[in-house]
Amino acid sequence: GWGQQKAAGDSPSPRQSVRKNLEFEPLSTTALILEHRPANLPAKPAEEAEKHQQQYEEMVAQAKKRELREAQKRKKQLEDRVKQEENIGNAALTWSQEILPNWTTMCSSKRVKELWWQGVPPSVRGRVWSLAIGNDLNITHELYDICLARAKERWNASSAPSTTTDTDTGDAGSSHADREASLELIKLDISRTFPSLCIFQKGGPYHDVLHSILGAYTCYRPDVGYVQGMSFIAAVLILNMHTADAFIAFANLLNKPCQMAFYRVDHSLMLTYFAAFEVFFEENLPKLFAHFKSNNLTPDIYLIDWIFTLYSKSLPLDVACRVWDVFCRDGEEFLFRTALGILRLYEDVLTHMDFIHNAQFLTRLPEHINAHTLFSSIAAVSMSCRNRKWTQVLHTLQKDPERASPVLKR
């Protein structure tokens, strides 16, 4: 019956909700309206009967109209979806047959750049990211296997009962403890990476892959080690490419100057990035900038999470992937441009809130952010300040650390 139908559907269709309204009425409205009155009651006056007939016909006509409207809407939705799928299909074809085979000559062309901005189709996303991130570190699949094997040795060693820990002293001891702590932290964080997707958690299909990549990286770069936030980056890569390629992209991505500064927590360089961001913040959104300043809301409070996880924790995953697309095209500058796009999108709300409400808002962005709206907002952000581009501003600040954000310095 209808009750069952209602319970089964997550979102009731408009038609179902119309039906719901009729639940308390007899199954057939004809029975109610057109039937003559029972014999023991006086007959309906002709005028009333005619009125009822007319009302009934109006109801039927309206219902028919409504059904027609809904059918048209459904048809339109279907057409839109087909068109969208066609567009994605066409784009995927263009990417895989034209652009990817001629990557070096085509990747910087205007047409490709425009197509890139619109979002890389999921079917070629992994390959595009890999090519755009590059492999300056010359990591091979074999090197990944070696790093992984070493990581596995360590896991086994640490899970076996250890007799040396107690006698370990000095540097060797502390580095051993550090290693153990970082192994445990990886385990803990894997269970806390996109928990709602249920694919990286223990028993999930990508649990071991994520574990392997993070473990291999700590062997590849023991000087950097595992830092919280990395699990999100590795997870997004795993969703788009094969394990060894994901590792190569992961290591090369983290090797970029901005990511290295953050993941090694090079505090003075981080402050320089924040200061450069503030230059463009003031240029683009002077009113909001002043409001944040007077509330002592410094950029570190929201940027740290955004930059460390490349927005994968704070934006819906599909929107985050679109940010990654253009981040791969434009580099670190786009991360800060995205931040300004977010601030610009919510400028009105943000200018009317105090410190704590703003901090809460920015560290937990609305769940329904739409990619199209966000990208329109990002497009309106200018990354040129008094004729200086992002890199120029950053370099000037780097040369003169005194100009870095004074609020955060101790």
Partner 1 sequence: MAKQYDVLFRLLLLGDSGVGKTCLLCRFTDNEFHPSHISTIGVDFKMKTLEIDGIKVRIQIWDTAGQERYQTITKQYYRRAQGIFLVYDITSERSFQHIMKWASDVDEYAPDKVQKILVGNKSDEEQKRQVATAQGNKLAKAYGMDFFETSAFTNHNITESFTRLAELVLQANKKDLDVLRVSINDKLNLAALEEEEGVCDSSSDAQKTCWC
Distance in Å, CB of 293 to partner 1, minimum: 10
Q: Report if residue 295 touches partner 1, rule: CB under 8 A.
A: yes
* Comparison of 11 and 163: residue with beta carbon closer to partner 1: 163
- What residues from 11 to 30 belong to the interface with partner 1 (CB under 8 A)? none
Distance in Å, CB of 267 to partner 1, minimum: 5
By CB atoms closer than 10 A (0-12, 13-18, 19+), residue 308 is buried
Q: Report if residue 296 touches partner 1, rule: CB under 8 A.
A: yes
Q: Report if residue 300 touches partner 1, rule: CB under 8 A.
A: yes
Distance in Å, CB of 359 to partner 1, minimum: 4
Residue with tokens 């190569």: 248
Q: Report if residue 197 touches partner 1, rule: CB under 8 A.
A: no
Site size with partner 1, rule: CB under 8 A: 37
The stretch near partner 1 (CB under 8 A) out of 14-22, 92-100, 180-188, 324-332 is: 180-188
Rounded Cα–Cα distance for residues 160 and 200 (Å) = 25
Distance in Å, CB of 244 to partner 1, minimum: 25
Distance in Å, CB of 270 to partner 1, minimum: 8
Residue with tokens 């360590």: 154
190 strand-pairing partners: none
Q: Report if residue 366 touches partner 1, rule: CB under 8 A.
A: no
Distance in Å, CB of 145 to partner 1, minimum: 28
- Running DSSP on this structure, what letter comes out for residue 11? S
- What residues from 213 to 232 belong to the interface with partner 1 (CB under 8 A)? 225, 227-229, 231
User: Helix, strand, or coil here: 112?
Assistant: helix
Distance in Å, CB of 405 to partner 1, minimum: 11
* Comparison of 95 and 302: residue with beta carbon closer to partner 1: 302
Distance in Å, CB of 407 to partner 1, minimum: 9
Q: Report if residue 193 touches partner 1, rule: CB under 8 A.
A: yes
Measured over the CA atoms of residue 163, residue 166, residue 169 and residue 171, the dihedral's sign is positive
Distance in Å, CB of 254 to partner 1, minimum: 13
DSSP secondary structure string for all residues of 262-318:
HHTT-HHHHHHHHHHHHHHHHHH-HHHHHHHHHTT--THHHHHHHHHTTTTTTS-HH
User: Helix, strand, or coil here: 389?
Assistant: strand
Residue with tokens 């596995």: 152
- What residues from 249 to 268 belong to the interface with partner 1 (CB under 8 A)? 265, 267
- HEC assignment per residue over 187-237: HHHHCCCCHHHCCCCCCCCCHHHHHHHHHHHHHHCCCCCCCCCHHHHHHHH
Q: Which of 360, 373, 384, 391 binds partner 1 (CB under 8 A)?
A: 360
Rounded Cα–Cα distance for residues 106 and 113 (Å) = 9
- What residues from 313 to 332 belong to the interface with partner 1 (CB under 8 A)? 313
* Comparison of 307 and 383: residue with beta carbon closer to partner 1: 307
Given a contact cutoff of 8 angstroms between Cβ atoms, the answer to whether 211 and 155 are in contact is no
Q: Report if residue 95 touches partner 1, rule: CB under 8 A.
A: no
User: Helix, strand, or coil here: 384?
Assistant: strand
Q: Report if residue 405 touches partner 1, rule: CB under 8 A.
A: no
Rounded Cα–Cα distance for residues 297 and 301 (Å) = 7
The continuous run of DSSP H or E covering 244 comes out as helix 243-254
Q: Report if residue 135 touches partner 1, rule: CB under 8 A.
A: no
The stretch near partner 1 (CB under 8 A) out of 73-81, 92-100, 102-110, 303-311 is: 303-311
By CB atoms closer than 10 A (0-12, 13-18, 19+), residue 348 is exposed
Residue with tokens 């300043």: 293
Q: Report if residue 363 touches partner 1, rule: CB under 8 A.
A: yes
Q: Report if residue 274 touches partner 1, rule: CB under 8 A.
A: no
Distance in Å, CB of 339 to partner 1, minimum: 13
The continuous run of DSSP H or E covering 388 comes out as strand 388-389
Q: Which of 143, 260, 359, 371 binds partner 1 (CB under 8 A)?
A: 359
The stretch near partner 1 (CB under 8 A) out of 9-17, 106-114, 129-137, 351-359 is: 351-359
Residues ≥6 apart with Cβ < 8 Å to 262 = 270, 273, 304, 307, 308
Chain contacts with partner 1 (rule: CB under 8 A): 181, 185, 188-189, 191-195, 201, 225, 227-229, 231, 265, 267, 270, 294-296, 300-301, 304-305, 308-309, 313, 354-356, 359-360, 363-364, 408, 410
